[in-house]
């Protein structure tokens, strides 16, 4: 599998040369120890990509030649995950896992029982999504939004074709929500905080048209529930 680097100035002409410098150049030359003649991928993080061949390796740079270019279309279903703010480094862990699972948009939510704070750390979480996209070979970096109020999350739920709210006391199985034939272009998953959702939040989401459901018998941490729900959704909608 070819290593992937995300760049702002993606070269898109076959035969053109490009210098991969900065942290990425250093990582490729010194950490990955990429050699001349090897190939790697570049992307702009918005679907466009270029396959390149290494011409020369410097101390902190890679000289590349573009071999092939292309564009990856977005999937027919857009997945948005609303993540109640978890504590400390759990937010970074949640972003990393959901990026790897294929979330298109991640919305940080200030739920009633949220104990985490991310108002000053959203940019750092975007960096986490950036790095996780490279690791998982994604040509599209998920959008990280923060921090949303409950009213804003309710609006997202109302606008979605399918909205799922995870709740450990529900008796509705997630697997029962997927139609045999579907035309779902937008799906929203709401993950509550470690302390759980309040009755008021559940009522608001229900009134907005969300399905309140159980992810499974084992109760996952808030930071880990997103990747499990995305996986179930991708399978249920036959995206995977």
- Distance CA(167)–CA(57), nearest Å, equals 52
Q: Within this chain, do residues 64 and 145 fall inside the same structural domain, yes or no?
A: no
pLDDT in tens, 188-216: 999 999 889 999 999 999 999 999 999 88
Instruction: Mark whether 43 and 139 lie in a shared domain.
Output: no
Shared domain check, 91 and 59: no
3-state secondary structure 15-43: CCEEEECHHHHHHHHHHCCCCCCCEEEEE
User: Which CATH number covers residue 60?
Assistant: 2.40.240.20
Shared domain check, 87 and 31: no
Choosing from 71, 98, 130, the residue where a domain stops is 71
Same domain, 216 and 151: yes
Range 106-111 average pLDDT: 94
Domain holding 139: CATH number?
3.40.1280.10
Our count of domains for the chain comes to 2
Q: Is the dihedral of CA 99, 193, 206, 231 positive or negative?
A: positive
Residues 67 and 186 in one domain: no
Mark which of 71, 104, 129 sits at the end of a domain.
71
Q: In the chain, what is the greatest distance between 2 CA atoms, to the nearest angstrom?
A: 61
Q: Are residues 66 and 150 in the same domain?
A: no
> What does the pLDDT look like over 75-101, one tens digit per residue?
999 999 999 988 768 889 999 999 999
pLDDT at 85: 87
Are residues 132 and 40 part of one domain?
A: no
Q: Find the domain containing 207 and state its range.
A: 78-236
Co-location of 14 and 129 in the same domain? no
pLDDT value of residue 182: 66
Q: Whose structure tokens read 């990747």?
A: 227
* C-alpha to C-alpha distance for 215 and 177, rounded to whole angstroms: 12
Check whether residue 67 and residue 184 sit in a common domain: no
Q: What gap in Å lies between CA 166 and CA 44, rounded to an integer?
A: 33
Q: Answer yes or no: do 13 and 51 share one domain.
A: yes
Residue-wise pLDDT for 152-183, tens only, equals 999 999 999 999 999 999 999 988 888 666 68
Domain end residue (candidates: 25, 56, 71): 71
């Amino acid at each position: 599998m070819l290593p992937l680097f995300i760049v702002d100035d993606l070269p898109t002409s076959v035969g053109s040369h490009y210098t991969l410098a900065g942290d990425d150049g250093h990582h490729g030359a010194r950490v990955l120890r990429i050699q001349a003649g090897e190939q790697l991928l570049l992307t702009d993080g918005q679907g466009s990509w270029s396959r390149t061949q290494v011409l020369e390796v410097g101390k902190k740079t890679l000289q590349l030649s573009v071999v092939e270019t292309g564009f990856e279309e977005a999937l027919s279903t857009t997945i948005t995950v609303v993540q109640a703010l978890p504590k400390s480094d759990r937010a970074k862990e949640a972003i990393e896992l959901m990026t790897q699972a294929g979330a298109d948009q991640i919305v940080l939510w200030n739920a009633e029982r949220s104990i985490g704070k991310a108002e000053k750390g959203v940019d750092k979480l975007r960096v986490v999504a950036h790095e996780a996209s490279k690791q998982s070979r994604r040509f599209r970096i998920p959008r990280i939004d923060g921090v949303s109020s409950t009213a804003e999350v309710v609006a997202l739920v109302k606008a979605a074709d399918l909205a799922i709210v995870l709740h450990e006391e529900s008796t509705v199985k997630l697997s029962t929500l997927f139609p045999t034939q579907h035309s779902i272009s937008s799906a929203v998953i709401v993950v509550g905080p470690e302390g759980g959702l309040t009755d008021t939040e559940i009522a608001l989401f229900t009134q907005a048209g969300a399905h309140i459901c159980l992810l499974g018998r084992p109760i996952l941490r808030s930071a880990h529930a997103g990747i499990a729900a995305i996986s179930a959704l991708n399978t249920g909608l036959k995206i995977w």
